[in-house]
Structure 1
Amino acid sequence: MVAHVGITSLSSSIACMSRPRRFSFIKPKPLAMATMHDDPIREWVLSEGKATQITRISSIGGGCINLSNRYDTDAGSFFVKTNRSIGPSMFEGEALGLDAMYKTGSIRVPKPFKVGVLPTGGSYIIMEFIEFGSSRGNQSALGRKLAEMHKAGKSEKGFGFYVDNTIGSTPQINTWTSDWIQFYGEHRLGYQLKLARKQYGDSTIYERGQRLMKNMGPLFEDVLIEPCLLHGDLWSGNISSDKNGEPVILDPACYFSDYYMLATEQPRNLA
């Protein structure tokens, strides 16, 4: 059985606490009736996408945040995610993360092409369509490719990222910070603790977390900490392989952080 990169926002599946649902596909109006003006996705595909015709648009199953479609054309296939209620900032963060990982020339990721606004509200992202294999592939190869990405993806700006992004639908703050302990304390643990306190109204976890943050320093004494590029949301649902068995990662929440945090990455959706 062949899976596809069109499994939308796989990072949202845990947040949904259910198996990814299949979206019903509403048959679109005939392509001849869609104008370039009212369909920016079609406009891009038939111009910058180098296609002369779209032969099929098919819905692909996904999570609970975005809708996804595969656009088959005479110039190849494209993967498109749309959200009818959220502006382009979420997809811009995803595209910048994919682009940063893609430029390391290490592990395979879907190449992002275009982020834009839908005329009826919401936003979209167009990216490379990758046909998945039947498994997550060779895990040793995955580890080596990730190590190559972390080695190649460096930042002179410190710890953080070019924009804030999201884990599922939870905001992730990426303000550039020169000190890693400060970055992780304020923008990762601290921010999640605030969300948890706001959501549940229990200050116990928050207070314990504050004590942890104040005492993290000694754990990293005499340790060289350099910012390297992380996927940021690397759980099993965001790992696959292409049809040749090469590892593929997708749906990132990228930032530059200490490589010691690779095993735990970002604490997910406490709120």
Structure 2
Amino acid sequence: MRRFRKSGTADRLAMFEAEVEGLAALRATQTVRVPDVFGTGIDADGTAWIELEYLELAPLSPQAGARLGERLAALHWRTGHEADARYGWPRDNFIGDSPQSNRTHTSWANFFAIERLQPQLARAQANGMPRAVVSQGERLIEGVGAFFLDVRPQPCLLHGDLWAGNAGQLPDGTPVIFDPAVYRGDRETDLAMAELFGGFPEAFYAAYRTTWPLDPGFETRKTLYNLYHILNHFNLFGAGYLNQARRMIERLVAELRG
């Protein structure tokens, strides 16, 4: 069987181990196809590696996109109704090359404010984000709970990094997802990120909503959730994401005032 091998410096072993755990968690739900894992480790020369099943993948067609929407909804539904689940994950992992804190919380608003927005905003300030933007971001974090007065998200298992580059289809049309950053949280975070960076086929969103409709207010919460990823991109790739982050923060703070 052909294998796909990723390698890097020794410090990437933790990322590969988190990837193995995330793929195993998604596979265990028996809802969405993910690559099989053959192993991970570190060679004598200090090279860290992970070996995965090699898959012939193509971009999602409308038909495969619809199937993925249905299966993602099934993933969220099954895992969002498990007893005693909390927001977070037993171990920290990574979003792209950035560390992702997954300390568990009983409040989704607190989890998203403390484990998602706060660390990214602190790194953004260290990376040169103007103080005026950071101050607005801090005001937003203080008021995050206002976005959840009428909804109580379930702690669903999430892919966590669901953009178009982390999905594809096999020759028979089966959709596949990979490179996860799993944790338990609001299912809408997966749907929100799926609209970033090119997005998925429209059939994906329609099929998901038909299978499990979203709650009112998603369009506003979507901006909140995607702010996390835009801040992360500012921290990883620089000031090209500053204006987008500023506009999102300003829009969300205006919602709080309204």
Q: State the TM-score, normalizing by the size of structure 1.
A: 0.67
Aligned counterparts of 1:250 and 1:201: Cα–Cα separation in 2: 31
Alignment of 1:75-224 (within 5 A): 76-132=1-57, 134-137=58-61, 138-154=64-80, 156-224=84-152
Unaligned runs of 5+ in 2: 194-227, 236-258
| SS class of match (1:200) | coil
Aligned counterparts of 1:120 and 1:185: Cα–Cα separation in 2: 40
| SS class of match (1:264) | helix
Contact 1:114/1:127, CA 8 A, preserved across alignment: yes
Aligned counterparts of 1:173 and 1:142: Cα–Cα separation in 2: 27
Read off the aligned partner of 2:8 and give its amino acid letter. Answer: N
Cα offsets for 1:44-93 (capped at 9, x unmatched) = xxxxxxxxxxxxxxxxxxxxxxxxxxxxxxxx122221113424211111
Contact 1:136/1:239, CA 8 A, preserved across alignment: yes
Is 1:263 aligned with 2:227?
no
Read off the aligned partner of 1:153 and give its amino acid letter. Answer: T
Contact 2:170/2:176, CA 8 A, preserved across alignment: yes
Contact 2:159/2:190, CA 8 A, preserved across alignment: no
The change in CA–CA distance for 1:201 and 1:136 in structure 2 (over 3 A counts) is: closer
Q: Give the root-mean-square deviation of aligned CA atoms.
A: 1.7
Aligned counterparts of 1:210 and 1:251: Cα–Cα separation in 2: 30
Unaligned runs of 5+ in 1: 1-75
Cα offsets for 1:137-186 (capped at 9, x unmatched) = 32111111111111223463411122211122111111112211111001
Aligned counterparts of 2:30 and 2:24: Cα–Cα separation in 1: 10
Read off the aligned partner of 2:52 and give its amino acid letter. Answer: M
Structure having greater relative contact order (Cα 8 Å, sep ≥ 6): 2
Higher strand share: 1
Read off the aligned partner of 2:124 and give its amino acid letter. Answer: A
Q: Which moved more, 1:104-113 or 1:201-210?
A: 201-210
Runs of 4+ in 1 over 4 A off after TM superposition: none
Higher helix share: 2
Kindly state the Cα deviation for residue 201 of structure 1 after the two structures are TM-superposed.
4.9
Larger Rg over CA atoms: 1
Read off the aligned partner of 2:189 and give its amino acid letter. Answer: M
Q: State the TM-score, normalizing by the size of structure 2.
A: 0.70
